[in-house]
């Protein structure tokens, strides 16, 4: 119904029917449609970057007209692809005003699976894979910053190996980030500055055990100074206030290692609530 109405408007204009409608009225209708959220998010398109001697690529969903939009990076899991990430982790559907980037990993040995590195993935620690993925992040961030973004609203999220890489970014590129949302993972946060975190975990995760992730959440809460029992957040999660202005939210579901359908909407909501803290901008 929505798509038909928008298509009909433009088909009518091209056929000359719309010439009988005052121009200002047509403009008002289009503005009203956009304001009501009827226009859908842009489909992601492929973009490439040269990082050293390697051409790297990502799918990018970019709003048609936006001045200094937010920027979100979405990292697939080990063995994943940018195309599958854009379909299964569609942050752009829930935040069409933001630039959302779905990078493609390179063949990488996995810690829990694929020890020979025959599938795509991301470096796990600083110095691993000669920091090729940290450099990929740097190249992408610079290109988007040159085009104009809101540098107080830059975010990272990822699932499994991509979630671990998101934690690595929070530790080594945290000054660029406003908040992160890792899923189904553990990661390296040693030396990191406090940053708002939404951690997503399945109680029946058969790969990255739930008890491992519980310990990870406790480490992040300690790092961020997030104490207390926590309060309900977005009906599905909990959020723990932080004395350092870096709250920790959790969405604990009863599923497995599979990425939960509710995650993209929750991640978009968390990111919208957490621009870069004033003291971190300095």
> Which of the pair, 64 or 281, is modelled with greater confidence?
64
Is residue 102 predicted with pLDDT exceeding 80? yes
CATH number of the domain within which 251 lies: 3.40.50.1820
69 lies in the same domain as 181: yes
pTM of the model: 0.85
96 lies in the same domain as 226: yes
Is residue 13 predicted with pLDDT exceeding 60? no
Mean pLDDT value across residues 182-209: 94
31 lies in the same domain as 50: no
73 lies in the same domain as 28: no
Residues with Cβ within 8 Å of 37's Cβ and at least 6 positions away in sequence, in order, are none
Does some domain include residue 203? yes
Does some domain include residue 169? yes
Mean pLDDT value across residues 193-211: 97
CA-to-CA separations, 232 to 44, 105, 218, 240, 272, in angstroms, rounded: 33, 35, 18, 9, 17
Does some domain include residue 30? yes
Is residue 129 predicted with pLDDT exceeding 70? yes
111 lies in the same domain as 29: no
Report pLDDT digits (tens) over 253-263.
999 999 999 99
112 confidence band (pLDDT: 50, 70, 90): confident
64 lies in the same domain as 168: yes
Residue (of 145, 136, 134) closest to 170 by Cα position: 134
Mean pLDDT value across residues 245-249: 96
Residue 174 is predicted with a pLDDT of 94
Does some domain include residue 178? yes
Is residue 211 predicted with pLDDT exceeding 70? yes
Mean pLDDT value across residues 82-101: 98
19 lies in the same domain as 159: no
13 lies in the same domain as 116: no
213 confidence band (pLDDT: 50, 70, 90): very high
Residue 179 CB coordination number (10 Å): 26
155 lies in the same domain as 24: no
82 lies in the same domain as 26: no
Say how many domains are in the chain. Answer: 2
Does some domain include residue 40? no
226 lies in the same domain as 168: yes
66 confidence band (pLDDT: 50, 70, 90): confident
* Radius of gyration of the chain measured on its C-alpha atoms: 20
49 lies in the same domain as 11: no
Domain span including residue 134? 45-281
Residue 80 CB coordination number (10 Å): 25
Is residue 10 predicted with pLDDT exceeding 90? no
Encode burial over 17-47: b for 16+ CB neighbours within 10 A, e otherwise. ebeeeeeeeeeeeeeeeeeeeebebeebeeb
């Amino acid at each position: 119904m929505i798509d038909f109405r928008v298509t009909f408007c433009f088909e009518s204009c091209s056929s000359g029917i719309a010439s009988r409608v005052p121009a200002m009225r047509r403009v008002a209708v289009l503005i009203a449609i956009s304001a009501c959220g009827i226009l859908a998010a842009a489909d992601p398109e492929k973009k490439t970057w040269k990082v050293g001697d390697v051409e790297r690529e990502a799918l990018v969903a970019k709003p048609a007209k936006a001045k200094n939009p937010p920027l979100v990076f979405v990292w697939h899991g080990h063995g994943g692809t940018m195309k599958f990430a854009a379909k299964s982790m569609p942050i752009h559907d829930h935040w069409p005003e933001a630039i959302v980037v779905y990078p493609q990993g390179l063949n990488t040995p996995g810690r829990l699976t694929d020890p020979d590195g025959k599938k795509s993935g991301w470096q796990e620690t600083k110095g691993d894979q000669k920091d090729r993925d940290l450099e990929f992040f740097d190249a992408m961030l610079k290109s988007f910053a040159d085009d104009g973004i809101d540098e107080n609203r830059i975010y990272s999220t990822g699932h499994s190996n991509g979630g671990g890489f998101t934690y690595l970014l929070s530790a080594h590129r945290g000054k660029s980030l406003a908040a992160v949302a890792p899923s189904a993972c553990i990661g390296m946060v040693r030396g990191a500055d406090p940053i708002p975190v939404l951690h997503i975990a399945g109680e029946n995760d058969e790969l990255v055990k739930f008890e491992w992730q519980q310990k990870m959440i406790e480490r992040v809460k300690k790092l961020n100074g997030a104490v207390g029992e926590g309060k309900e957040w977005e009906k599905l999660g909990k959020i723990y206030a932080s004395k350092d202005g870096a709250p920790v939210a959790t969405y604990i579901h009863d599923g497995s290692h599979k990425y939960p359908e509710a995650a993209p909407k929750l991640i978009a909501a968390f990111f919208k609530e957490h621009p870069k803290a004033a003291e971190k901008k300095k």
